[in-house]
Amino acid sequence: MATLCRPTVSVPEHVITMEETLRLARRLHSDHPQLPLALRLIENTGVRTRHIVQPIEETLKHPGFEERNRLYQSEAKARVPAVVRSALDDAGLRAGDIDVIIYVSCTGFMMPSLTAWLINAMDFPSHTRQIPIAQLGCAAGGAAVNRAHDFCTAYPQANALIVACEFCSLCYQPTDLGIGSLLSNGLFGDGIAAAVVRGTGGTGIELVRNGSYLIPQTEDWIAYDVRATGFHFLLDKRVPTTMEPLAPALTQLAGNHGWDASDLDFYIIHAGGPRILDDLSTFLRVPPEAFRFSRATLTEYGNIASAVVLDALRRLFDEGGAEHGARGMLAGFGPGITAEMSLGRWTADDRAAEPPVGAAV
């Protein structure tokens, strides 16, 4: 059975606090007619600090899409290898043991994908498969876990490497003054994460089932408007209401496996914002504490897009993991509106995670 091992997460060294964000908003948008609303929404995110790849003075400039994408490429190449090496070490593997690299990112563009560069730069086998995913946004972290699970199910002895690289600060657009854009300026942060899914062995979440769900007719609620100046993020005010239609999809996935989504041992959920977590807590009928790992990511790093679920999982590991056989759910949400969901049992010490007698499997 495929096991999702301990992720490694790295955030850039430049930090901006909530207080600094609010001061900047007041200075840059002092004449904005909806500034009080924007400030209130930013404060309500609960984000205390975010990390960005450049000092804030440079982040606020817009040298053009070409220069920003060049910076995306150079920063990814400078920062990703150390994260990958750490994830491989945590999984007890080497580059030569990896059969597929799944790379997810929505904040820059490369062709060939960074997967090709990693294979050459880090001595992965030349026959390593490449699966770059660029257009699932924040849902891509969950999608990467699911595609790794699918691959290791098809090839039971294989190992998959997941890499999420998000520099959201490089998508800042100083001319975008809508409330959704101003909120995003105070919500998103930068981060890199990597994790290995082992086909056999390993400590972590033994993946048992995955699924996807798209809310009909919501494809324009989260989107990019691609212009000469780069990616312009569009966020509909209805996005925070999406947990009501998505919660039944999570419930059904668990029910199809004989589990009760309201009665699991751990939850690794994308932290798009506090409303997302609050509503999901209500609709799944689980206590707010169930999402403490996601809330901690949001508070300390902001929304780091596809890397959120891997950071939340890293926090579960840091807490000591779960009891052997504990049941849990992982879910990422993003454009579409799409949910990428998976179920798994905690397995430790390379033991096969066999459920207790009489338990649902």
Does 204-347 match 3-198 at the fold level?
yes
Q: What is the pLDDT of residue 312?
A: 98
> Could you give the CA distance from residue 67 to residue 59 in angstroms, rounded to a whole number?
12
Distance spanning both ends of the chain, measured CA to CA: 13
Give the separation between CA 236 and CA 94, rounded to whole angstroms.
Answer: 43
Q: Transcribe 135-191 into DSSP letters.
A: SSGGGHHHHHHHHHHHHHHHSTT-EEEEEEEEEGGGG--TT--SHHHHHHHTTB-EE
For the whole prediction, is pTM greater than 0.95? Answer: no
**Burial grade of 74 (CB within 10 A; 0-12, 13-18, 19 or more):** exposed
Predicted pLDDT of residue 349:
60
Domain extents in the chain = 3-198, 204-347
Catalytic site includes residue 138 = yes
Q: What is the C-alpha separation between 237 and 37, in angstroms, rounded?
A: 13
Closest CA to 105 of 60, 149, 57, 164: 164
204-347: which CATH topology? Peroxisomal Thiolase; Chain A, domain 1 (3.40.47)
Calculate the alpha carbon distances from 271 to 33, 106, 122, 256, 299 in Å. 29, 16, 31, 25, 10
CATH architecture of 3-198: 3-Layer(aba) Sandwich (3.40)
Q: Which of 5, 106, 138, 171 is catalytic?
A: 138
As a whole number of angstroms, the distance between CA 26 and CA 77 comes to: 35
CA distance 147 to 158: 13
Distance of CA 98 to the CA centre of its chain: 21
CA distance 295 to 45: 10
Residue in 242, 162, 271 with CA at minimum distance from that of residue 207:
162
Considering Cα of 102, then 137, then 153, then 200, what sign does the dihedral take?
Answer: positive
pLDDT profile of the chain (361 residues), mean per 10: 97 97 94 94 94 96 96 98 98 98 97 97 97 96 98 97 98 93 93 97 97 96 94 92 95 98 97 92 96 97 97 97 96 96 88 38 38
